[in-house]
Amino acid sequence: MFHSISWRLQFSYGLLLFVAFVGLLVAAHHLEYGDRMSEVDSVLQARAVQIRSAITRPRGAEAAPGEQKVPELALPRSDNRFGPARGARHTYYFVWEDDASPEPEFQSNGAPGNVEQPFVEEGGPGSGISRVRGEYRERIIQTRGGITVLVGRDVTELLVEVRKQSMKLAAAGSVLLLIGLLAGNWVVRRSLRPIDDISEAAIRIAGGELDERIETKGNRTELGKLGDVLNHTFDELETAYKRQAQFTADASHELRTPVAVILSEIQSAPKRSRSVEEYEECLAVCEESATSMQQLLQQLMALAQFDAGEAIHRQDSVDLNELVERCVDQIAPIAAEKNVVLSVESSEATIPGDPDRISQVVTNLLGNAIAYNREGGAVAISLFEKAGDAVIEVADTGVGIPPDDLPHVFERFYRADKARSAEGEHNGLGLAISKEIAKAHGGDISVESRLDEGSTFTVRLPKHKAEKFSNLSSS
């Protein structure tokens, strides 16, 4: 549970909401407290100025008989917003007329004990400071004449009211926090639902339902895009699986014929007496079938190595001009038997690669060009450079390839009805292997063909080191 993405997202989201809620609650409490204290300070400031004005008189002047030096303070009705008035104990004052006197000259009845004269920096009318002393809020002003006035009041009930307001806000906020957590849980589950769909689809595909796909219609989020990518991957896997199954079936079919021939000859040989020539003919048929089987197995092994990325083991500097001439010399006797004219047009070109594999490509293309050519036809091989690549072209005047078959000629075991029906042992793997070799060298192979006019195969090989060779060198 604690390792799931859903739980982690919900926990992080809830923690974020809680921290934000606590921060807002603390800020609201401080704002409410500050507002209430500002209102109290305003009232206390007005009272302090009133007292200061009452006791300020010309130096040496005496108060008139019966004159009250400091007026009694009555809590005005407007102060009731701070709570019920409690008489003299609710608002009080102290007055010092001499900076050197520690005892106040005036103080109201019911003042909470006695206090020492506080220190306030000198300032004009209206200057002063505020402070909290226990459950009392006090405002202190001082003039250049040495008069210090302290006015205070009990703010216990006000603080209780502030706390009640904070508790109400906390209760309302808790409800909102709970709603936010539930909404966040719904959003997280809805957002992560495609992950569950991906997991379920992957399980069904692993169970053999290769046509299963993830539903991404209408989902344009990042997870929807991930679903599209995975669907494409599943398409590739399904294609690869079907190709592998077809490959196995085709390989079994190709091996069935030579095996059947060998078994037939061996089983029929002891059943009747034969001459030496007949036994030699039987052995020759078995040898031919075994050779065909060996060639097919070698090709299948080569394709398996290409699939595993292990078919290219050498990285030499290959002189293509010399390589092409050597391949032409090897194939010349076969061309002579069919009365096919070979022509070579080449230039100097050197690439990094495996010379044996590249020779296999050239020999295979030349062999096909001769096998599917006309009696007395021609095969032209050209070597040149183009856009930084070495290019080998093999053109023939043969039967050509039908347009419907042209896109499939490099597929394994593919044989077109016409272009692949010439005489000879051809199992449809030669061009597939040639394409894999070209790709392993960082290049490619393509074909252009016109039916009954001929075909041109083009091999493009880069003159720089291929990525597979780089990996090979570093391993």
- Cβ distance 398 to 454 under 8 Å? yes
Distance CA 120, CA 126 (A): 12
Q: How far is CA 225 from CA 199, 228, 236, 304, 363, in A?
A: 15, 5, 17, 33, 46
Name the token pair of 472.
């090979």
Do both 283 and 393 map to the same domain? no
Do both 299 and 387 map to the same domain? no
Do both 277 and 395 map to the same domain? no
Per the structure, the complete domain to which residue 248 belongs is given by 222-307
Name the token pair of 230.
């995975």
Is 212 part of any domain? no
CA-wise closest residue to 353 among 215, 461, 274, 211? 461
Is 167 part of any domain? no
Q: Which of 115, 139, 162 finishes a domain?
A: 162
Q: Is 87 helix (H, G, I), strand (E, B) or coil?
A: helix
Q: How far is CA 245 from CA 309, 412, 416, 461, in A?
A: 20, 12, 20, 31
Half-sphere exposure of 388 (CA within 13 A, CB side): 5
Is 175 part of any domain? no
Do both 377 and 238 map to the same domain? no
Distance CA 111, CA 291 (A): 122
Do both 157 and 231 map to the same domain? no
Is 188 part of any domain? no
Is 196 part of any domain? no
Name the token pair of 399.
């039967």
Is 343 part of any domain? yes
Q: Which of 283, 307, 331 finishes a domain?
A: 307
pTM, entire model: 0.51
- Angle 98-99-101 from CA coordinates, rounded to 5°: 65
Name the token pair of 434.
């040639």
Do both 42 and 146 map to the same domain? yes
Name the token pair of 180.
């936010």
Do both 235 and 142 map to the same domain? no
Do both 401 and 253 map to the same domain? no
Distance CA 99, CA 143 (A): 11
Do both 285 and 330 map to the same domain? no
- Beta bridge partners, 382, equal 345, 393
Where are the extended beta strands (E) located within 102-251? 106-107, 129-133, 136-142, 148-154
CATH number at residue 280: 1.10.287.130
Total domains present in the chain: 3
Do both 261 and 374 map to the same domain? no
Q: Which of 162, 187, 207 finishes a domain?
A: 162
Distance CA 314, CA 312 (A): 6
Is 354 part of any domain? yes
Do both 328 and 438 map to the same domain? yes
Is 122 part of any domain? yes
Per-residue pLDDT tens, the chain, 475 aa: give them. Answer: 556 777 778 788 888 888 988 999 899 889 988 998 999 988 888 888 888 777 765 444 555 554 445 545 443 333 433 333 343 347 888 888 766 666 788 787 777 877 777 776 555 544 688 888 888 999 988 876 778 888 999 888 888 888 998 899 889 888 988 898 888 888 877 777 777 777 787 788 777 777 777 777 766 667 777 778 888 888 888 777 777 777 777 777 667 777 888 888 788 777 777 787 878 888 888 888 888 788 778 777 777 777 766 666 667 888 999 999 999 999 999 899 889 999 999 888 889 988 888 998 999 899 999 988 988 899 999 999 988 899 999 999 998 988 888 888 888 777 665 444 444 455 678 888 889 889 888 899 999 999 888 999 999 999 876 555 544 444 4
Name the token pair of 475.
């391993």
